[in-house]
Amino acid sequence: MSDDLKSLVLSLRADILDLRKEVMDVRAALKRSPVGPYMDADHAREAMRDLDPVSGDVDQENT
């Protein structure tokens, strides 16, 4: 492998390890939070609702 490719692979590996640590930190924070026990996979699968910036209601055009 060329040196550029090796450095790219090492950089990507470091980025992946950093992201894994961030995910573990977020999971730990959720477990400590008051809402943590109530979070489950079903909540993560819900579609994001587009709120109307003026009223704060769910924008029916985008849902």
Domain that holds residue 22: 3-62
Q: Report the domain count for the chain.
A: 1
Residues 30 and 44 sit within 8 Å (Cβ to Cβ): no
Contact present, 7 and 14 (Cβ < 8 Å): no
- Cα–Cα distances (Å) from 35 to 4, 6, 20, 29, in that order, read 45, 43, 22, 10
Per-residue pLDDT of the chain (63 residues; tens, 9 = 90+): 689 999 999 999 999 999 999 999 988 887 787 765 555 555 555 555 555 556 555 555 544
Token output for 40:
């489950």
- pTM exceeding the 0.95 threshold for the entire prediction: no
Dihedral (Cα; 43, 44, 47, 50), 10-degree rounding = 90
